[in-house]
Amino acid sequence: MPEVSTQSIDVPVPGGVLELSWAAVTDTGRRREVNQDAVFAAYPLFVVADGMGGHVGGEIASASTIDRLRAVADSGHVNPKSIEKALARAVKDIASHPEATDDGTGTTVTGVFLDTSGDAAHWVTLNIGDSRVYLVRDGAIAQVTTDHSVVQELVAAGRLSPEEAENHPYGNVITRAVGPSEGVKPDYVRLDVAQGDRFVICSDGLTKELTDYGIRHFLEENADPADAASAMMEAALENGGRDNITIIVLDVGRPAGSADEAASDEDSAADEAATDED
């Protein structure tokens, strides 16, 4: 398994400063010859792409999409408009590549970015396909994104239970992807920023092997993002590793020495002094 490390940055936001810590890892898994997943994780954009189509077509599609999104992040202007322009360019890159000959060549793309342009900072998730963003807040885990898949449509229509969906033969059939058609837009979900939040952004190689409960368990057992990502990857491989697996763990915290932390330390010191006097 690849070596995983945690990166951190203090980010000025309206009303204060956030410490973001994250780690990313990708693995071919135990049954595939090629890793068609691609990942980009650097402030302010954290995204996973899961390619499909032909022996190398999926790899080309996911890499092309991540390259275009990396350029958006490097520009410092990450928003729905710039993301959609990047995805439109990625579609052209995929179509023009000599080795991406399969009509079904394409990729999912799923992730989050931090929007600091307004009066308050917000997270924005983006999603095309069936890779996922999970949020753990106050001990509860929730899938923020909605899969673009045949199985999800059957569940939404009440024709399939979530339990039945887990092993459905059409489980890998997605209904929206970057590549096969032009003008595909992501779904977006806007979220408030809360200290203590933990995001998991992953390809379906992880969710084929771990339940939501399992993901939450490994987050609870591992405070460091790299440790959490490594533990989930190891468990997914042990459970079969049937597909390529990509994981980003992103934590939202308060930087050491922040005003809030200093105030908390002062309160604790005052409480201790009062106890000593008693």
pTM of the model: 0.89
pLDDT in tens, 194-214: 999 999 999 999 999 999 999
What pLDDT is attached to residue 275?
46
Alpha carbon separation from 96 to 64, 89, 197 (Å, rounded): 11, 11, 40
What pLDDT is attached to residue 264?
44
Our count of domains for the chain comes to: 1
| 259 inside domain | no
**Closest C-alpha to 208, from 158, 157, 126, 147:** 147
Q: Mean pLDDT, to the nearest integer, of 241-254?
A: 94
Q: Mean pLDDT, to the nearest integer, of 13-38?
A: 95
Contact between 208 and 246 under an 8 Å Cβ cutoff? The reply is no
pLDDT in tens, 252-272: 996 655 444 434 444 444 454
| 95 inside domain | yes
- How far is Cα 109 from Cα 50, in angstroms, rounded to an integer? 7
| 261 inside domain | no
How does residue 46 score in pLDDT terms, banded at 50, 70 and 90?
A: very high
| 265 inside domain | no
What pLDDT is attached to residue 263?
43
Contact between 109 and 89 under an 8 Å Cβ cutoff? The reply is no
- Say yes or no to pLDDT of 23 above 90: yes
What pLDDT is attached to residue 152?
86
Tokens of 224: 């460091």
| 274 inside domain | no
How does residue 155 score in pLDDT terms, banded at 50, 70 and 90?
A: confident
What pLDDT is attached to residue 259?
45
What pLDDT is attached to residue 171?
72
Strand partners, 243: none
**Closest C-alpha to 20, from 141, 145, 195:** 195
Tokens of 113: 């970015």
Tokens of 150: 């045949």
- How far is Cα 11 from Cα 191, in angstroms, rounded to an integer? 17
State the CATH number of the domain containing residue 229: 3.60.40.10
Domain region containing 185: 7-253
Looking only at the bridges linking them, the beta strands covering 245-253 and 109-115 are: unpaired
| 177 inside domain | yes
The Cβ of residue 95 has, within 10 Å, a number of other Cβ atoms equal to: 14
For residue 275, which phi and psi values (nearest 5 degrees)?
-65, -40
| 202 inside domain | yes
Q: Mean pLDDT, to the nearest integer, of 221-244?
A: 97
pLDDT in tens, 95-153: 888 776 666 789 999 999 999 998 999 999 999 999 999 999 999 999 999 999 888 88
* Strand ranges for 89-227 from DSSP E: 106-107, 109-115, 122-128, 132-137, 140-143, 187-192, 198-202
Average per-residue pLDDT for the chain: 88
The contacts of residue 192 (CB under 8 Å, 6+ apart) are 120, 122, 123
Contact between 29 and 18 under an 8 Å Cβ cutoff? The reply is no
How does residue 163 score in pLDDT terms, banded at 50, 70 and 90?
A: confident
| 243 inside domain | yes
**Closest C-alpha to 70, from 117, 95, 38, 35:** 38
